[in-house]
Structure 1
Amino acid sequence: MATLLVVHHSPTPRTLEIAQAALEGTRLEGLEDVTVVERNALEATIDDVLAADGYLLGSSVHFGYLSGALKHFFDTTFNATHEATKGRPFSYWLHGSYDSTGAEIAMQQITTGYGWKLCADPLVFLGEFTAEMRNAATELGATVAASC
């Protein structure tokens, strides 16, 4: 049985809605063989990362950059996990009000350092969260779960 680690920082109703839609996707029919472990970015541990076969990450975007909580997750797990988890599948979603450029660049650089392999196009949402975006987040969750 594969394990998918979902790590996110969802401090607002809008970002929580995105996280919930992505999590719904991880539980669709046909994905029963995937165990989903959900962690708040400030609570995820080295053991969580090492035990997972794939990763789905999510963050609110503040001032064009990743949330401090998701950055903290990366800072506290990188040294102990990046060699052991190289090549594992991942993707992510980001949500901001007006600009996500810095967050997108950071995600690319950080996950390149881990050596993880992008298994689905990341989702970047700006502004209001629409039904179309909700469907895309659900599909993202399903795709990453199926990649484990």
Structure 2
Amino acid sequence: MKKQLLVVAHAPSANTRALVEAMLRGAAHPDLPAVEARHVPPLEATAEDVMAADAIILGTTENLGYMSGALKDFFDRVYYRVLEEKQGLPCALCIRAGHDGTGTLRAVRGIVTGLRWNWVQEPLLLRGDWQADFLAQAEALGMTMAAGLDAGIF
């Protein structure tokens, strides 16, 4: 049975959708056959999606110095339903920040700490004007998460 990598990412623009596609492309690397990755938008993601996941990548835009309302809604709906059973869930975060992203990062870190999920790498903070390199970084994030699952590291 394949390990499940869940990507819960708010992608309201062409650029943020491209970031999600890059994460999925990285996770689908042919050398990582034991992992299946899928994107579920935050407003559609459920506690059952989290319960079925072996790892999760969270993605959000920086909105008024905070995470997107869609990602906050996701956390509000699933928090208590997954709190006990998904402690230790390997997770990573990608923030597309037009400014500095620190408020967004602080808010997501606080919730993830409460959930007792395990960060497997430092959050990917894509700051400022759009850069083509953002796609390569997002792809590497997806590949890293899938490789960790594939190798049984987490």
TM-score (norm: length of structure 1): 0.95
* CA offset digits 1:45-95 (Å, max 9, x no partner): 011000111001101111110000000001100101021111121101001
* CA offset digits 1:84-127 (Å, max 9, x no partner): 11112110100121131111001111111111111122111122
> What corresponds to 2:35 in structure 1?
34
Partner Cα separation in structure 1 for residue 28 and residue 35 of structure 2: 8
The question of whether the paired residues in 2 share the 8 Å contact of 1:82 and 1:114 is answered with yes
> What corresponds to 2:152 in structure 1?
none
Residue pairs, 1:13-28, within 5 angstroms: 13-28=14-29
Count residues in correspondence: 148
The question of whether the paired residues in 2 share the 8 Å contact of 1:54 and 1:147 is answered with no
**Residue type of the partner of 1:45?**
T
Partner Cα separation in structure 2 for residue 111 and residue 50 of structure 1: 15
> What corresponds to 1:60 in structure 2?
61
**Residue type of the partner of 2:20?**
A
Partner Cα separation in structure 1 for residue 133 and residue 37 of structure 2: 24
> What corresponds to 2:82 in structure 1?
81
Tell whether 2:128 aligns with 1:147: no
The question of whether the paired residues in 1 share the 8 Å contact of 2:6 and 2:37 is answered with yes
Residue pairs, 1:7-18, within 5 angstroms: 7-18=8-19
More strand by share: 1
Q: Look up the SS of the partner of 2:73 in the other structure.
A: helix
Structure 1: runs of 5+ lacking an equivalent: none
The question of whether the paired residues in 2 share the 8 Å contact of 1:93 and 1:124 is answered with yes
Structure 1: which 4+ aligned runs deviate by more than 3 Å?
none
Q: Kindly state the Cα deviation for residue 132 of structure 1 after the two structures are TM-superposed.
A: 2.1
Structure 2: runs of 5+ lacking an equivalent: 150-154
Partner Cα separation in structure 2 for residue 121 and residue 14 of structure 1: 22
* Aligned-pair identity (%): 36
Q: Look up the SS of the partner of 1:40 in the other structure.
A: coil
Aligned-residue CA RMSD in angstroms? 1.1
**Residue type of the partner of 1:32?**
P
* CA offset digits 1:12-59 (Å, max 9, x no partner): 112112111111111112221112121001000011000111001101
TM-score (norm: length of structure 2): 0.91
